[in-house]
Amino acid sequence: MRKILVTGAFGLVGSDLVPELQKRFGKENVFALGNKTIPEDFDGNLVRGDVTDYSSLEVIVKEDRITDVYHLAGLLSVGSEKDPELAWKVNFGGLKNVLDLAKIYKFKVFWPSSIAAFGPTTPKINTPQHTSLEPTTIYGIGKVTGELMCQYYWKRYGVDVRSLRYPGLTGYKAPPGDGTTEYSVHIFYGLLKEGRYSAFLKENTRLPMMYIDDAIKGTIDLMEAPAEKINVRTSYNFGAINFTPKEIAEEIKKLYPDFVCTFDPDPVKQSIAESWPESIDDSEARRDWGWKPTFDLPKMTETMIGGLKEKLGIGS
C-alpha cells in the first residue's frame, strides 16, 4: 500500500500536487505536511511539522509507514537572498534530513532542483543536461549541492531519489511565492484585480517556464517510472516553453485589450533572472521516461485566467 508524504504541501507545487495524488492514490493515503500557511478548507490528512526537525519528521515517517516522499518545502530564490542562513537551513538541511530518513526507512524521494542550479557561465540557449553549474545565488548553490547529495545517496546507499530542474512554474491555486519567475503569476492577479501590472523584470528577460499541470504530470510520471529508466540521479533538465514579460503581457492583451503592463525591474530579481538560462534541452527526460509538455503560452494564459477568476469569485 502506497503512503505518500508531501512536504511544502501548500506551496505553488504542493497545492496542485496534493489533490492529484489524492485522486490517483486515495485521499487516505496522502499526508500533507505544512508549517505556516495552511488553508482552512484543506480536505485531507494534515500533518503539521518542520522539515528542519529530524525527530519530528522521523515520527511522521514511522507512524504513517511512508513509502514515498515528495519533498517540496523550501524558500524560493528571492526569499533565499533575503535570509541566506535560513535558506541553507531549510533548503539544504531539510533535504539532508529527508535523505537520511530515506536511508533508514527505505522510502522513495522526489526533490525539486531548479534552473537556478545554472549560472552565468552556463550556455543560455538550449542549456544541456551536463554543463557548467556555477550559480551565484544561495538558492542555486543549495540546488547544486542538493543534486550532488541526491546522486551520492543513490550511489552510496541505494536511496531511490529522483529530481527535476523545475523551470519557472505558473499556477493559480497557491498565492505566488517569493521567487523570480513568479511575475508570471502576479501578472494575472494584476490583470483581474486592477486591469494593470508592473513587472519586476525587464520586458525582454527570457526564461524557461512551464504551466503547473505539466509540472505535476512530469513529477508524478518521473516518480512512477521504473527505476531502470532513470539514468540521471542528480536532476533532469525539464523544459516546456519560454517567454518574456512582454510576450506574456501581449498574450493577455489578445484577450483583454485594455490590460496595461509596465516594466519596473527590481535590481535583485533582474540580476537573478539574468544569471539563469533562456531555454532548456530536456531530451534526456524525453528519452528516458517519456516527458512531453502539453501547454503552450496561449493555452496557459487562457487556463490561468479561467482558474483565477473562479478562485477570486470574478464573473466573466
Active-site residue list: 139
Cell 500533507 found at: 32
Instruction: Write down the least CB distance from residue 258 to ligand SER, Å.
Output: 29
Q: Are 109 and 71 in contact (CB under 8 A)?
A: yes
DSSP assignment, residue 117?
G
Closer CB to ligand SER, residue 16 or residue 31? Answer: 16
Closer CB to ligand SER, residue 29 or residue 112? Answer: 112
Instruction: Write down the least CB distance from residue 192 to ligand SER, Å.
Output: 21
Which residues contact ligand SER (rule: CB under 6 A)?
76-77, 114, 116, 166, 168, 179-182
- Going edge to edge, which strands form the sheet with 207-211? 168-170, 207-211, 241-243
Nearest to 273 by CA among 141, 126, 133, 168: 168
Phi, psi for 165 (deg, rounded to 5) = -90, 90
Instruction: Write down the least CB distance from residue 80 to ligand SER, Å.
Output: 8
Instruction: Write down the least CB distance from residue 115 to ligand SER, Å.
Output: 6
Phi, psi for 73 (deg, rounded to 5) = -60, 130
Closer CB to ligand SER, residue 153 or residue 166? Answer: 166
Instruction: Write down the least CB distance from residue 249 to ligand SER, Å.
Output: 18
Residue type at position 195: G
Distance between CA atoms of residues 284 and 198, nearest Å? 37
State which H helix or E strand residue 274 sits in. helix 267-274
43 three-state secondary structure: coil
Report the residue closest to ligand SER, judged by CB. Answer: 179
Closer CB to ligand SER, residue 166 or residue 259? Answer: 166
Alpha carbon of 80 to those of 25, 62, 189, 210, 304: distances in Å? 33, 31, 23, 22, 27
Closer CB to ligand SER, residue 3 or residue 165? Answer: 165
Grid cell at residue 231: 539514468
